[in-house]
Amino acid sequence: MEFSAIVESRHSVRQFETGVSIDDAELEAIFADVVLSPSSFNMQHWQFVVVRDDTRKQQLRGLSFGQAQVEQCAAAILVCGRLDAHVDAARIYGGEPAEVRDKYVPMIEGVYRDQPVLQREEAIRSGALAAMSLMYAAKNRGWDTGPMIGFDAAKVAAMLELGDNIVPVMLVVLGRAAGGQQPARGYRRPLSEVLHYERYQGRGSA
Ligand SMILES: Cc1cc2nc3c(=O)[nH]c(=O)nc-3n(C[C@H](O)[C@H](O)[C@H](O)COP(=O)(O)O)c2cc1C
């Protein structure tokens, strides 16, 4: 699909057709695009946990303030970020020329070591970029999605056995929109309110 058509047709879907499934091959085709997303120092902090089992989706819905789309969707995907992605710097730069590797590996370790705030920011930044890629990559293959932060992060982390080095970034529900209906586009702030040239110019003339 042409990129602007993907952008225009993506909406946050809250009602999915039930009984739709997505197999591993289709998910892997989508995620092959997702992992081409950018990340700081190419650390690829993202991790994805796909929940397709009906009982587990029901359980996840219970931890998401009862939001029905979590149970109706074909897959509920928790996009996560790794706080310690930087420990793999040597492996990630292993194929680079020696001068690049010798410059970046110690730099990356120095930047992130003992920096919990930065580690968390980077995990969330990279995870958020991957989540956006996921929504567009899914749309490109005919799937509808919805991003969600309305869930109990601590309980979802426990349910999915995330471990201390993995933070939830957002849930992306994926499936086929019920009735094939696209919701109306929600209000968008005008460019005059959000776009600034050369320097920030206040709230603008909305
Ligand atoms: C980080 C994030 C969290 C969101 N959480 C929820 C949510 O918990 N439940 C929900 O129904 N929609 C949620 N949304 C969807 C937004 O309401 C939606 O993106 C916004 O209204 C714009 O609509 P659109 O995505 O259809 O363009 C979330 C979106 C983002 C980006």
> What's the number of domains the chain is made of?
1
User: Tens digits of per-residue pLDDT, 25-51?
Assistant: 999 999 999 999 999 999 999 999 999
User: Tens digits of per-residue pLDDT, 92-136?
Assistant: 999 999 999 999 999 999 999 999 999 999 999 999 999 999 999
User: Tens digits of per-residue pLDDT, 182-202?
Assistant: 778 999 999 999 999 999 988
Burial of 97 (0-12, 13-18, 19+ CB in 10 A): exposed
User: Tens digits of per-residue pLDDT, 161-178?
Assistant: 999 999 999 999 999 999
Which atom of ligand 1 is closest in space to residue 170's alpha carbon? Answer: 1
Tell me the mean pLDDT in the region 133-149. 98
**Which residue has the CA at smallest separation from atom 5 of ligand 1?**
148
Residues having CB within 6 Å of any atom of ligand 1? 11-12, 14, 67, 146-150, 170, 186
User: Tens digits of per-residue pLDDT, 63-89?
Assistant: 999 999 999 999 999 999 999 999 999
Res 206 pLDDT > 70: no
- Identify whether 90 is part of a domain: yes
Distance 139 CA to ligand 1 centre (A): 16
- What pLDDT, on a 0 to 100 scale, did the predictor assign at position 203? 57
How many secondary structure helices (H) and strands (E) does the chain include? 9, 4
- Identify whether 202 is part of a domain: no
- Identify whether 200 is part of a domain: no
CB atoms inside a 10 Å sphere around CB 167: 19
- Identify whether 201 is part of a domain: no
**Which one of 148, 152, 172, 187 would you pick to mutate in the ligand 1 pocket, going by the greatest count of ligand atoms within 8 A of its CB?**
148
Res 205 pLDDT > 60: no
Question: Model-level pTM?
Answer: 0.96
- Identify whether 173 is part of a domain: yes
Res 55 pLDDT > 50: yes
Identify the band that residue 204 occupies on the pLDDT scale cut at 50, 70 and 90: very low
- Identify whether 132 is part of a domain: yes
Q: Give yes or no for a contact between 57 and 168, defined as CB atoms under 8 angstroms apart.
A: no
Written as one letter, the residue type at 194 is V
- Identify whether 199 is part of a domain: no
- What pLDDT, on a 0 to 100 scale, did the predictor assign at position 182? 74
CATH number at residue 119: 3.40.109.10
- Which residue range forms the structural domain that includes residue 132? 3-194
- Identify whether 42 is part of a domain: yes
- Our measurement of the distance from residue 40's CA atom to the centroid of its chain's CA atoms, rounded to an integer in Å, reads 15
